[in-house]
Each structure stands twice: as C-alpha cells, then as structure tokens.
Chains A and B, each alone.
Chain A
Amino acid sequence: MPSMRLGAPVFFNNIPFQIEERQILREMRIPRKSFLKDLDEPGLASQIKKAIDEGYRLIHGMGVFRTLSISGIEDRKVLTRETNTLFVGEKMVKLLKNCDYATLLVATIGPQVEDRVDALAASEPAYSYFLERVGAWMADYMGIIIDHAIEKEILRFGYKKTFRFGVGYGDWPLSTQTEVMELTQANKIGISLNESFIMSPRLSVSAVIGWERIIEGQKLNNEPESENEEQ
C-alpha cells in the first residue's frame, strides 16, 4: 500500500502537455467550433494557430501540491495540523466539512508566455491577446493535471475529491495566498506574490481540493471540477 504523501510538498518540474484547439476556442468564447479548421475566417484561424505553435515553444508547465491534515472546524474556520489561519470563510467550511485532508495546489506555465505577451502588447495587441488566451487556458490545464494527480491519490485512499476551489474566490480571501505560497514552497517553481497577492508569473493558478470521506454504499458522482464550473 502506498503511503499518503503528507507533510512535504510534491513537485512537478516538467509537466508534459497538449494544447487542444477545442479548449483554446472555448477559452476565447467562440461557441460551436471544435477545431480551427471549423472557423470561417482563415486569417483569424492562422493567428490562433500561430499562438498555439508559439505556446508549445514557450510553455514550461510546473506545479506543486501539499496535503494538510484537517483537525477540526471552529467558527467559520477549518483547522489543520499545519495551520489554523488558512482555511477561513463559510465557503471553506462548507467545502471541507466532511473532509479528513485538504490538498493545496499551485501550478504555472512559467514566465515566458507572458513576457512575450507583454513585449507584443503595444505593437501586436491582437496577437498578444491570442497568445495570452492560450497561456490562460494552459495555466488552468497545468492546474487540472495536478488536480488529476491528487484525485488518483485521493481515490486510492478511499476518499472522493471535492471540487477545486481557487484562492480568492467566494469568501476565501486572496490575502491567504501568502500562506498558500509558503506551505507549498511555490517559490521553488518560480512563483512570487506582489503587494496585491497576485501571483507572478500571473499565468498561474492556486487552489485547494478536499478529501471527502466516501460513506459506505455512496456512489461517486460527477461533480464540477472547479468552483468556476459550479457557478
């Protein structure tokens, strides 16, 4: 039986990836199109294709997760053995009330895409937008990859995962980002915070996933993957 990876952060320094046209079109909010070839505008399609190709060259997927042991719930706060100040707010209590563990995750695509986006912002704003959208989806993608790695571990130990709850969403204050970064040692994958608690590289994601007890006879349902999908 594998032992649970508690206590120390688990790093992913190099996440293999695919940039799916379907997801990029979705990220750009173009409905009913799955592939670039489906677009009626070849000029637009070639710009997006170029951004995807460049994304492949610039993206360096990295991530980290750390699992914390939940010790109790107290007055709009979820307590863990490692910290009593991180999981605050009613939504956090609702998310983690039936959980024994909570896993923090942080993922990024590295700084190169946004450096390129910034460099092109003035001269090529449209292309810069397309590249930024590719980066935005791929930052989510890296989060999903780490999410799935955590989910496998969760299932292996007889739990089901809650949906992924992003730092700063709902009533979970963005200021807790500082503690998330410290606990996960996200600086080791190149992430820092500015004075407004925004991650740099900004094409990064941070979230928590709970380990919810599977009660005997309970079926696993298809809950949304993240709080975004729930809304």
Chain B
Amino acid sequence: MKPLLERLKYEVLLLDGSMGALLQSRGLPAGYAPDLWNIEKPHEIQAVHTEYVNAGSDIILTNTFGASRLRLSEYNAQDRIREINFHAVELAKRASRGKAYVAGDIGPSGTTIAPFGDLPFDDAIAIFYEQAKLLLEAGADLIAIETMFDIQEMRAALIGVREAINGRIPIMALMTFNMDGITDSGSDPETAASVLEGFGVDIMGLNCSVGPEAMVPVVSRLGQTTDTFIAVEPNAGLPVHRNGETLYLTGAEEVARFAPSFVEAGANIIGGCCGTTPEYIKILAKTVKGSAPISRPTPSLLKISSRTSMTLIGEGVPFLIVGEKINPTGKKIFSEAIANGQVDLIVAEARKEAEAGAGALDVNVGVPLVNEAEMMAKAITAIQNVVSLPLVIDSSYASALEAGLKLYPGRALVNSINAEDERLEEVLPLIRKYGAAVIALVSGDNIPETAAERMKNAEKILRRAEELGVKPRDLIFDTLALTVSAVQEAAKQTLDTISLIKKELRLPTILGLSNVSFGLPARKIVHNNFLSMAIGAGLDAAICDPYDQVLHQTVAASSLFARRDPDCRIYLNKAEAWTPASANQSATSKETAPKTTSEAIRQAILEGERDGIAALCQKGLDEGLSAFTIFLDIMTPAIRHLGDLFGQRVKFIPHLIAGADAMKKGVEVLQPHLEADGPVEPKGCVIFATVKGDIHDIGKNICILMLRNFGFSVIDLGRNVPLDEILAAAEKHQAQIIALSALMTTTMMQMKIAIETIREKNLPYKVMVGGAVVTPKFSTEIRADGYGKDVGDVVPLAERLISAFSGLDVPVAQ
C-alpha cells in the first residue's frame, strides 16, 4: 500500500464503523470488556474487521479502545495489556489482507486529568505511552486517539504517543464535540485545532456523541482553520431505548447523505462511530470513497490558545497586547506573596489585566530562593481557572517552563529562547514536547548592534528549531527594544529587524515595550510613539502595560494604518469610551450631588456609601451639628426611610444591609461624643444565637447589625449554641428577647425545645425566630412570640416585642 499520508493528498478514504454494537450482536455480554475478546474470541473480532474491509474501509481501528492499563484494571486485566494489544493488531492485520491500514486505537482514560481532574498529568502520559508503544511494536500503521472530551487529556495522550512512536507512524487525533460544537472541557474547533497543530498531528478531527448533521459545521470550522488532514466519524444519530436495548435510529442512507458536505467542508477521511455498521460504510463507499478532497490553504498565522479560546498573531489580524503585570520585578508585596506560595494577588492581577483589554497574559513568578517550578504550576492553574486568555509562560528556568506547560490546557507561548546554544538545547525540546509556541529573542551571547546581525541570530534559531522538530510557524521573533536614551541608533535597528523578519522570514514579531523608554521622564509618551512606529514596521504583538489607556489608543489608531482593522470596527468600538459623550455623563451625575452635609449623610445611608460617611459625620460635627442631632434627626430617619422603601419593594435586602453598614461606620465617629453626653440607654437587650447543631449565621449577623443601629443592646452568642448557654446569657444580661436562628430542617427543632423550656420554667423572655427553613406556621406551632421573614422584619419585630414589656415605651418602626 502507498503511505497513508500520501494517499490522503489525492483521495478521500474511509474508516470503519462501530465495533461494540457488532460484538454485542455476536454475544458480547453487556458490561463485559470488548478488549478481552481479542484473546477470548479472536475469530469474532477478526470477522468484524473483515466485514468492514469488505464494505470498503481503507482504515480499520483495532479493538483496543479500552486497552490501556488504567481501563483494563477495571476488569483486573491490566497485566494482560501486552497480550491484548498485540492480539488486536494481529487480528486487524489478518483481516485487512493488505487492503486497509491498521490504526492502533486508543480511547480516553475514563477519568479526569489534572489540573481539572485527579489523575496526575505525568501518570496520564505514562498510560498512553505504554499502550502506544505496544501498538507500534505490534505493527500498527498509525495510531488513532479518539473520543477525547477534554483537550488536556488529548494533550497527555499526544505527549505519550509521540514519545512512544517517535515519528515512525502517523497520528490521528479525534476530539468529541457536543451538539453546540464545543467539547466537554469547553474547547471550540479552532481552539482544539490550534492545540492539535501544535503537536503536529497528521490527521485531526472528531468522532462520537452526535450524528452527522451536527458535525458538518465543526468540520467546516476545522477546514477553515487548519491544513491538517481531517477525519470525521459521526454516530448514527442520538441513541434511544427500545425494549431495554440502546438503538441509533439514523439510517445508513441518511448518514451517507451528509458525506458530500463533509468533503466540501474539508474532510479527508470519513467513517462511522456508535450505531454504524458495515452497511453504513458500504453506502459511504458508493458516495465519496476515492473522491478528491478540497485543497485548503496553509495558514500563515501563529496560533496560541487557552482551554477555551484561540488567538491569532500575525499580519492582518488585530495587534496583540500581552499583559506584563504578572511579574514580581520591583513589586515588594507581589514578591512576598510569591515567596509565601500565595497566588491570590496573581489571580487578581490576571483578572485586572483581562478587564483592561489584554489579549494574552505573560506569567513570570521568578523570585530569588523560591521554587519557581512549583510556583509556576500553582500560578498557571489558578489563572486558567478564572481567565480564558492565552498565557505566556515566562521564566529563565526550563524546569519552571515545563511545570507551567504541563498543566496548561491549551497552547501556550513560551518566553523565551535566544540564539545561545545552551538555551536552544534546553527549551526547544520542551516546545516540541508540549506543542507550544515560543518567543525567540534575536540576541545571542550579546545583543547585536545591527539588524543584519540580529537576522543571523534569527536564522540560527530557525535552523536549530527545525532540526529539533519545532516548525517555523511555532516561532515569534522579539527584535529587542533597547533603551533609547542610551543608544538612539538601537531603536532604528529594532524597527529594521522587524521589517527584515517580515520580509525575509514571513514570521510574526513581538517586543517587550517598556524597556525602550527606561530612564526618561514621561515614559509613556516615548514608548507609545515607538509602538506606533513599530506597528508601522510590521510588529504583531507587544508585552506591555495593559492599564495604559494611551497604549490602547495608540494600538487602535496605528492598526488603522497597518491593515489590522478592516472597516475600522475595532477602533470605532473602542473610541466610544474615549469620546466627550462619556465625560458628559459624569458631569450629569455630579449635578445630583447633595448640597448640605446633612443631606450627604442621609444620602450615604440611602445609597450604602460606607467609605465616605465617617468623614461626613466628622464634617457635620465640625460644622456644629451635635452627635445626637446627626444620629437622631439625620441617620435614624434615613435608615427608617430605607426600611420603608424596602417595604415598598423599591429597595432590597442588600440595600438595607449596606445602609445599615454605612450608618454603623458613621456611628463609630459619633460614639465618643454620644457617650460624653452621658450613658445611652439601650432600647432593650437581645440575646441572639444560631441554635445547637447549626453552623449558619450570616443572616443572624445582619439582623444584629440592624438591631444595634436602632439602639438595641445585642449579645451575639455565635452559632451552634446549646440552650443552657443561651439561657445563662439571658439571665446574666437581663435580656428581654431571645432571638434564635436556624437554616436546616434538622436543627430548627432546637427552637421548639428552647421555647418549651422557657415556658416550663416560666422565664420572662420573649422569643423571636427566623432563618431560611422557618415558616410562620412553624413559628405559631412552637408558640414563638415573633417570626421574622427576613432582615427587614427584625427591627419592627424587636420593637413590638419590647413594647410589650411594662414601663417601656418605644417607637415602632413602620
């Protein structure tokens, strides 16, 4: 037979169809491992393969979908892994009779892979490596990795398989997409393609899960993004159940009806997955076998991706701003956090950069004496949990780069290599192994002065990269932005190098921007002007400060002149925020500002403005208002008004809480002045507790805040409080009210016990109850004195209960 990849250039080939269903029809019991039949029922396996070859399959998959060590261990057959995989290849070979290629089939591990799941990434690689090695030794013509739901698991599989086969046979890598065209782990076709291209797979595509109709758009998107051969294996529709059997109802003719669409979309190989049989392949063979595939242009742009989104870098696409802020250099707090192994500041910075408009994030965690590999792994895991931008893994240490590359479930950009031999030998193998892209600085042992010398370094890097299996399209060159205040000529050489790389190598370029203005005042003016010139020279990306609005304006405007923004859409969208109309809006809001201090305090409570209220209260005092006036005549009416608005459903619980919190902040300023005028008599004393067994107390805490603002003395006993402790506190503080909170049906009965005890002992306390599971009916049944639905009820309820005590006359909130 001709080499498979050679034939795929000229003809559409056919895969086989489902194995499992055919084996079940031959007596495979439900739940039994089909892989064991390679040994136990070899004739049945060979017969199925033969049926597919006779039907027209050009490639048949070995019966080894679940024959990895991990999967076989589910049947306690892990020690038979060699035997099972060898027999499988042998049976397929016999059936193929030289007419079909035998693809050693590898399925998913059946579990979840780190960092998302619990199987360590290295363990996953080892599992796939072992099976691929066996399939290769047994004589498979190619390896097929299929039905992968998670791009991270596919990465582990590809690393293991590539290491095992070392380029001796082709690799076909098939992901599974759902009806929405997205994988289980959230990757769209373009993102998946960028990762698979990074690993240099020979054939990529999709199989399983959905029928042919839902697969056509995915094949089409793959066809538009890659020139790699594409394979597609649809199910015979979605399964249904009939008389206890699982059936796939889309017929062979119907599946075959979509085959021409697959070919038009770019497919080179078509087969079937669940529910398909030799009959399906026979009809597919009549429809498309041997037809000419469409030709697809070779993509010229660099692709980097996160787990869920892909970004293009190069000519004609938007300029890429790579955020530079995740870097401890010169940041004491950041460095200390990293030294302590904390990632919270890194996560916060990553989100801030993303919100500021960065298109990718550089991640550098280099702090002296810190285990950088360990820290990089933590940082990459934490950032990719909350930000979907592609990451640039930045370290001087290969160990840190590798730690980050392992755990990153996308196609990372590595920062960086240069023309030094040691660095090339250390980092380029990692780029190949993890399917990454890399920034190549055009420096060597020193920084060349001229563009011509820098180009020599670029050529050297390119040569060595290709020798080590890294393709030119995996590289982006950094032409070195040097400090212009030191050597003005250097800036020109940098720009010239950009032009030369674009012209002679046709590869993308990037710069670390901030260096250029070092040592000069008003640095932003300097480096933004330089950025504009560099974009004009062909620069594609910059590592820079995404918080600099002038930088965004520079990029947007320069992109108009660099053919990066057709129809000026990007510029127009961004310019909306820079136009005078936005400024007018803030001017309008200033017009509603309160005019007097009293009004400002009132407004602060109504709007929950806690940050400014202390200063306002102090201002009021300074202006001659008494503390009592501020508290009784300004704050208290304001918080009552807020309560009224809550009752009218104009304001809601958070407003009430924020208002109470603002009032509390203000009262803290007034308190010394209030106390100076003599002791303040509380309205009453409330013992507040979450009942025994219950650990929820957020509602209780908010009720306490409200009660205290309204002048109650509240003793907070916390949560999970035994009844005797509650009663002891009530006696000690001569409380009038016991307030009980519970959130669980299992704990609310503690309220009943408490009330019964209080009644039995004839204790003088009113009991109010509340909490998510407590209802008015329950409150009545247990004979509580009062029930509060939510925090809005608590003050009126407490005031009502207090007013029942003789000799007390308190106003009741409405």
Most buried by A among B116, B246, B351, B385: B385
Complex CA gap A191/B244 in Å reads 37
| In contact, A14 and B111 (Cβ under 8 angstroms) | no
| In contact, B107 and A2 (Cβ under 8 angstroms) | yes
For B612, the chain A residues whose CB sits under 8 A away are 43
Q: CB-CB contacts of B374-406 with A at 8 A, as 1s and 0s?
A: 000000010011100000000000000000000
| In contact, B238 and A158 (Cβ under 8 angstroms) | yes
For B386, the chain A residues whose CB sits under 8 A away are 16-18, 56
Which of the residues B653, B662, B744 comes within 8 Å of A43, measured between beta carbons?
B662
Q: How far is the CB of B599 from chain A (nearest CB, A)?
A: 15
| In contact, B744 and A168 (Cβ under 8 angstroms) | yes
In the complex, the number of residue pairs spanning A and B with C-beta atoms less than 8 Å apart equals 195
For A11, the chain B residues whose CB sits under 8 A away are 111-112, 117-118
| In contact, B184 and A215 (Cβ under 8 angstroms) | no
Q: How far is the CB of A175 from chain B (nearest CB, A)?
A: 8
Most buried by B among A8, A16, A175: A16
B561 at the A interface (CB under 8 A): no
Q: How far is the CB of B312 from chain A (nearest CB, A)?
A: 23
Q: How far is the CB of A196 from chain B (nearest CB, A)?
A: 4
B752 at the A interface (CB under 8 A): no
Complex CA gap A28/B302 in Å reads 44
Q: CB-CB contacts of B701-731 with A at 8 A, as 1s and 0s?
A: 1101100000000001000000000000000
| In contact, A129 and B698 (Cβ under 8 angstroms) | yes
Which of the residues B107, B657, B693 comes within 8 Å of A129, measured between beta carbons?
B657
Q: How far is the CB of B267 from chain A (nearest CB, A)?
A: 21
Total interface residues on B, CB under 8 Å, equals 77
Q: CB-CB contacts of B56-69 with A at 8 A, as 1s and 0s?
A: 00000000011000
Q: Which of A124-175 contact B (CB under 8 A)?
A: 124-130, 132-133, 149, 152, 155-159, 168, 174-175
A13-B118, A28-B654, A125-B661 given; A2·B239 CB < 8 A:
no
Which of the residues B110, B611, B745 comes within 8 Å of A3, measured between beta carbons?
B110
For A85, the chain B residues whose CB sits under 8 A away are none
A47 at the B interface (CB under 8 A): yes
A68 at the B interface (CB under 8 A): no
B604 at the A interface (CB under 8 A): yes
| In contact, A16 and B654 (Cβ under 8 angstroms) | no
Q: How far is the CB of B744 from chain A (nearest CB, A)?
A: 6
Complex CA gap A128/B747 in Å reads 23
Q: CB-CB contacts of B603-637 with A at 8 A, as 1s and 0s?
A: 01011111110000000000000000000000000
For B20, the chain A residues whose CB sits under 8 A away are 1
A12-B116, A16-B385, A47-B658 given; A126·B610 CB < 8 A:
yes
Q: How far is the CB of B717 from chain A (nearest CB, A)?
A: 12
B166 at the A interface (CB under 8 A): no
For A8, the chain B residues whose CB sits under 8 A away are 111
Closest to A197 in B: B746
A121 at the B interface (CB under 8 A): yes
A95 at the B interface (CB under 8 A): no
Q: How far is the CB of B431 from chain A (nearest CB, A)?
A: 25
For A158, the chain B residues whose CB sits under 8 A away are 238-241, 246-247
For B655, the chain A residues whose CB sits under 8 A away are 30, 41, 44
Q: Which of B55-91 contact A (CB under 8 A)?
A: 65-66, 71, 74
Q: Which of B177-195 contact A (CB under 8 A)?
A: 178, 184, 186
| In contact, A202 and B610 (Cβ under 8 angstroms) | no
For A14, the chain B residues whose CB sits under 8 A away are 114-117, 381, 385
For A28, the chain B residues whose CB sits under 8 A away are 652-654
Which of the residues A3, A196, A215 comes within 8 Å of B746, measured between beta carbons?
A196
B273 at the A interface (CB under 8 A): yes
For A2, the chain B residues whose CB sits under 8 A away are 107-108, 110, 147, 149, 176, 208
Closest to B345 in A: A57
A230 at the B interface (CB under 8 A): no
Q: How far is the CB of B41 from chain A (nearest CB, A)?
A: 18
| In contact, B117 and A12 (Cβ under 8 angstroms) | yes
Complex CA gap A21/B71 in Å reads 42
Complex CA gap A147/B766 in Å reads 45
| In contact, B695 and A202 (Cβ under 8 angstroms) | yes
A93 at the B interface (CB under 8 A): no
A195 at the B interface (CB under 8 A): yes
For B147, the chain A residues whose CB sits under 8 A away are 1-2
| In contact, B698 and A1 (Cβ under 8 angstroms) | no
B696 at the A interface (CB under 8 A): yes
B46 at the A interface (CB under 8 A): no
Closest to B700 in A: A121
A224 at the B interface (CB under 8 A): no
A53 at the B interface (CB under 8 A): yes
Q: How far is the CB of A91 from chain B (nearest CB, A)?
A: 14
| In contact, A61 and B115 (Cβ under 8 angstroms) | no
Which of the residues A16, A43, A61 comes within 8 Å of B611, measured between beta carbons?
A43
Which of the residues A53, A126, A194 comes within 8 Å of B693, measured between beta carbons?
A194
B694 at the A interface (CB under 8 A): yes
Q: How far is the CB of B732 from chain A (nearest CB, A)?
A: 20
In the A-B complex, the 6 residue pairs with the closest CB atoms: A158-B239, A126-B661, A43-B609, A196-B693, A57-B344, A41-B607
Other CB < 8 Å A-B pairs besides A14-B115, A168-B746, 11 of them? A1-B147, A10-B112, A13-B112, A14-B114, A43-B612, A155-B238, A158-B247, A194-B693, A196-B694, A202-B696, A216-B242
Could you jot down 19 A-B contacts, CB within 8 Å? A1-B274, A7-B74, A11-B111, A12-B118, A16-B186, A17-B385, A17-B386, A46-B611, A56-B351, A117-B698, A121-B698, A126-B608, A126-B705, A130-B654, A159-B241, A197-B746, A198-B693, A198-B696, A216-B242
Interface on B for A, CB 8 Å cutoff?
18, 20, 65-66, 71, 74, 107-108, 110-112, 114-118, 147, 149, 176, 178, 184, 186, 208-209, 238-242, 246-247, 249, 273-274, 307, 344-345, 347-348, 351, 381, 384-386, 604, 606-612, 652-655, 657-658, 660-662, 664, 693-698, 701-702, 704-705, 716, 744-747
